[in-house]
Chains A and B, each alone.
Chain A
Amino acid sequence: MGKLNSKIPDGPLAQKWTKYKASVKLVNPANKKKLEIIVVGTGLSGASAASALGELGYSVKNFCYQDSPRRAHSVAAQGGINAAKNYQNDGDSIYRLFYDMIKGGDYRAREANVYRAAEVSNDVIDHYTALGVPFARDYGGTLDTRSFGGVQVSRTFYAKGQTGQQCLLGCYSSLNRQIKKGNVTMYPRREMLDLVVIDGKARGIIARNLLTGEIERHAAHAVVLATGGYGTIYYLSTLAVNSNASAAWKAHKKGAFFANPSFIQIHPTCVPQLNEFQSKLTLMSESLRNDGRIWVPKMKDDKRPANSIPEEERDYYLERRYPAFGNLVPRDVASRAAKERCDAGYGVGETGLAVNLDFRDAIKKQGKKAIENKYGNLFEMYKTITGIDPYEEPMRIYPAGHYTMGGLWVDYELMTTIPGLYAIGESNFSDHGANRLGASSLMQAAGDGYFVLPNTISNYLADEIRVPKISTDKPEFEETENSAVERLNKLISIKGKQTASSFHKRLGKILWDHCGMTRNEEGLKKALTLISELKKEFWKDLNVPGTINEINMELEKAGRVADYFELAELLVTDALDRKESCGAHFREEFQTPDGEAQRNDEKFTYVAAWEYAGEGKPHILHKEELKFEEVEMKVRSYK
């Protein structure tokens, strides 16, 4: 195992976290004030960490690239947030939530972390409720829940289709309280350009003020990355368009291992691409699959309007293939099934790259009002974007890049392989294995930030209390700043002809075609060549107008795309290396006769943690073997 120590506490699974908390080193209140912590990111994970650490009395600096922390990408989450409350008396428990996540992740996640995420999920719901998050309620005044894909209980708390917004505004309010108290200082419109490492420990960041172009040095005793996922590497995805991997990637190049980069979730229900300038693919929440039925015509290239295709000529392919879970199969399964039908020529719409999501039967049975109550805003949004009314005609949907299970490798304490550098929320790899179950990301992000990190970080900081305030005059700050500026200058001085976005689009297409919903060796090898060629072209023919000392959004984009080229190579390398299919990683060579993913547990029950070895050198693979002590590894079946 070498350099990887996952630091999983001893003892039975259900007691690990309690035991850990009881024995962890603490920092006394007087010392907390003297310890500075940088938190990069203000999504559910970052804002919750910053506020919880502020409440404890640490001196926190919190960064985001938006003009306000309230706009972090978490705001866009729609469907809901899981917890094992068992309010429905339907047999739910912490163990079952844990089990569903392990199985849903296709046995590629670490048991101890997942169990803990399930354990703190109930605290998250309590906390949000106390903060005034208006979750949906029943007539008796209690909280309501709904079902999500891949599970057979109803454990998803929601606030119409705006759960992420409501949870994030809850975090934002607790963050504001700490800002007012002076425990957190907010730095919006800042982009972290690089991590500063001194004597092997994370000691600060270099940031660019996006309004003035000014380069800033910020020092701290510990640095927490909460910078979100890298799904925009496909260019078109469901993420906010400025989401990026740059902070995580820079940390990686400074020594933080990157785990399972090729595990990317493709969400089955998104608005398909309509025009060549399209900048994003809007998600239509998974919750719609509770009532919508997915189908394509039984006849190839059937161009009739959906409503005039009679019942017996419709193929409800999910219900046909997966009778036990039907339309609520997990995302990876639903996405591949849609691709399979479309590739075979049964897709609908002008491009043939779409399937129907039909509410006709649900409206007939429950009435339009009931459907409007549940999904009103999503239906409106669909109509706004496409001009089609889903109360009258089925929605057209197609899969799109959505969530990155891969991310910075962290141990049980959420620390990366750089001492003092933590990664929380979507930016780490920890809880979702090879596939994430719906509504478990908000749960993990908020759990990490509010309840896990504040407990684990003291174990490190307890040994830092004698370290005085770190000076930004140290040579490491100087060097890191110089190299960051040098890179900005390099990008701006290419003076070619093409925009950063046009390169990004082409990179995204290569990845989507060869390292998307399905992958194979030949395609992946081809992708490596194509990426390397395009990367060369980028460094020769990019154009960024303006200077580095002013607002320069083209420069911001260029930096992010440059990092994506490097990450893309690692992503494909990881996909090539994993010669099995698991969860979202579907290698065409490894499938069962009926087209399901075929794992190879004997060889691949590990986390692939990649170490950066220097410019132009191949990455070094470290394997964290996964041990399943509690759960028996089974073939994941939803039939």
Chain B
Amino acid sequence: MNLILKIWRQKNPKTMGNFVTYRMDDVSPEMSFLEMLDALNKKLVEEDKDPVAFDHDCREGICGSCGMYINGHPHGPVPAITTCHLSMRYFRDGDTIWVEPWRAKPFPVIKDLIVDRSAFDKIQTAGGFISVNTGAAPEANSILVRKKKSDEAFDSSVCIGCGACVAACKNASAMLFVSAKISQFALLPQGRIEAKERVRAMVEKMDELGFGSCSNTGACEAECPKQIKLTNIARLNREYYKAF
């Protein structure tokens, strides 16, 4: 199939960016979206032009590196998948596809489709851990956890830190991301001990870094490739009120 791509090009954080139009011919429906961009970049490099910069690594939906707005949706129009898993069979011959970086104040654009998500790491550093030294752990089966709770904790723990939730939110709120980590630990006995300090530290850091507040729109849940649920945010709020 033949496509028209409108891709956001921006040289660095300081310069203004703009959309540049590229024609892509003979795209196979079996390619992934990133493989289609690889093909475009191959062409650009062969013409000695600057290829489109984007983050990616695992290319199987788990590392959280990739992420871009595609036709107005973070990670593209197909729900519950990452950009690297988006197949070109969802597009039609003649389509025009708009490609943009995450847009959110706490995630400044670095180049083209690459943004700076280090704010997420800072939030995790503030409190996203259980304080146990190597070698000090008790025998694993001495900590019993109800299967249901453990499964719930797992469902929260699968967040890949991609940032789509922030990009989707009109307030650039990081509540879904933060609530996923808070929930994982809040649901497990190992995590209860520091629950209060953790939630306070992470929320404080999140506010300090300029993420907006949650107005319960639910765009984050709708766009999250790992289907992290809004109920996590409710749990985060409960944990936060309990912490004072």
Provide the residues of chain A in CB contact with B42, threshold 8 Å: 499, 501-502
User: Are the C-beta atoms of A543 and B120 separated by less than 8 Å?
Assistant: no
B95 within 8 A of A: no
Known: A241-B56, A279-B34, A279-B38. A52 touches B134 (CB 8 A): yes
Majority SS of interface residues in chain B? Answer: loop
User: Are the C-beta atoms of B118 and A551 separated by less than 8 Å?
Assistant: no
A142 within 8 A of B: yes
User: Are the C-beta atoms of A176 and B125 separated by less than 8 Å?
Assistant: yes
Known: A68-B118, A179-B125, A553-B51. A279 touches B59 (CB 8 A): yes
Interface centre among A73, A172, A211, A384 (most CB of B within 10 A): A384
Binds B, one of A129-137, A199-207, A417-425: A129-137
B196 within 8 A of A: no
Known: A174-B129, A188-B118, A282-B60. A545 touches B48 (CB 8 A): yes
Known: A160-B154, A241-B59. A177 touches B28 (CB 8 A): no
A11 within 8 A of B: no
Provide the residues of chain A in CB contact with B106, threshold 8 Å: none
A305 within 8 A of B: no
User: Are the C-beta atoms of A139 and B147 separated by less than 8 Å?
Assistant: yes
- Return the contact of B132 from the options A130, A283, A553 (Cβ within 8 A): A130
Q: Which residue of A lies closest to B126 (CB)?
A: A180
User: Are the C-beta atoms of B129 and A129 separated by less than 8 Å?
Assistant: no
Q: Which residue of A lies closest to B57 (CB)?
A: A240
User: Are the C-beta atoms of A451 and B135 separated by less than 8 Å?
Assistant: yes
Interface centre among A160, A165, A173, A240 (most CB of B within 10 A): A173
User: Are the C-beta atoms of B191 and A132 separated by less than 8 Å?
Assistant: yes
CB distance from A298 to the nearest CB of B (A): 29
A14 to B139, CA, bound (A): 21
B64 within 8 A of A: yes
A279 to B60, CA, bound (A): 11
User: Are the C-beta atoms of B48 and A68 separated by less than 8 Å?
Assistant: no
User: Are the C-beta atoms of A162 and B191 separated by less than 8 Å?
Assistant: no
Q: List residues of B (31-72) whose CB comes within 8 Å of A's CBs.
A: 31-32, 34-36, 38-39, 41-42, 44-46, 48-51, 53, 55-65
B145 within 8 A of A: yes
User: Are the C-beta atoms of A140 and B144 separated by less than 8 Å?
Assistant: yes
Contact-residue bracket for chain B? 35 or more
User: Are the C-beta atoms of B58 and A126 separated by less than 8 Å?
Assistant: no
Known: A131-B190, A132-B191, A497-B46. A67 touches B87 (CB 8 A): no
- Return the contact of B158 from the options A73, A125, A165 (Cβ within 8 A): A165
Q: Which residue of A lies closest to B161 (CB)?
A: A70
Known: A126-B140, A142-B144, A277-B28. A71 touches B65 (CB 8 A): yes
CB distance from A42 to the nearest CB of B (A): 11
Q: List residues of A (233-280) whose CB comes within 8 Å of B's CBs.
A: 240-242, 274-280
Known: A279-B38, A551-B110. A381 touches B132 (CB 8 A): no
CB distance from B239 to the nearest CB of A (A): 15
User: Are the C-beta atoms of B117 and A67 separated by less than 8 Å?
Assistant: yes
User: Are the C-beta atoms of A130 and B190 separated by less than 8 Å?
Assistant: yes
A451 to B135, CA, bound (A): 8
A177 to B194, CA, bound (A): 13
CB distance from A83 to the nearest CB of B (A): 9
User: Are the C-beta atoms of A385 and B49 separated by less than 8 Å?
Assistant: no
A140 to B131, CA, bound (A): 26
CB distance from A385 to the nearest CB of B (A): 7
User: Are the C-beta atoms of B31 and A137 separated by less than 8 Å?
Assistant: no
Provide the residues of chain A in CB contact with B110, threshold 8 Å: 211, 551
A97 within 8 A of B: no
Q: Which residue of B lies closest to A176 (CB)?
A: B125
CB distance from A166 to the nearest CB of B (A): 6
B89 within 8 A of A: yes
User: Are the C-beta atoms of A162 and B35 separated by less than 8 Å?
Assistant: no
Provide the residues of chain B in CB contact with A497, threshold 8 Å: 46
A159 to B154, CA, bound (A): 8
A314 within 8 A of B: no
User: Are the C-beta atoms of A132 and B184 separated by less than 8 Å?
Assistant: yes
- Return the contact of B62 from the options A75, A131, A278 (Cβ within 8 A): A75
User: Are the C-beta atoms of A387 and B87 separated by less than 8 Å?
Assistant: yes
User: Are the C-beta atoms of B161 and A68 separated by less than 8 Å?
Assistant: yes
Provide the residues of chain A in CB contact with B16, threshold 8 Å: none
- Return the contact of A543 from the options B46, B133, B135, B143 (Cβ within 8 A): B46
1/0 contact trace for B1-20 toward A, CB 8 Å?
00000000000100000000
Q: List residues of B (92-144) whose CB comes within 8 Å of A's CBs.
A: 110-111, 114, 116-118, 120-121, 124-126, 128-141, 143-144
- Could you show 9 A-B contacts with beta carbons less than 8 Å apart? A66-B63, A70-B64, A75-B58, A76-B60, A123-B137, A165-B158, A176-B121, A188-B121, A278-B35
A residues apposed to B, CB below 8 Å = 48, 51-52, 55, 66-71, 73, 75-76, 85, 87, 123, 125-127, 129-132, 134-143, 159-160, 162, 164-166, 169, 172-174, 176-177, 179-180, 186, 188, 211, 240-242, 274-280, 282-283, 381, 384-385, 387, 450-451, 454, 495, 497-499, 501-502, 543-546, 550-551, 553-554
The 6 closest A-B pairs by CB, nearest first: A141-B144, A130-B137, A173-B129, A134-B154, A129-B140, A126-B137
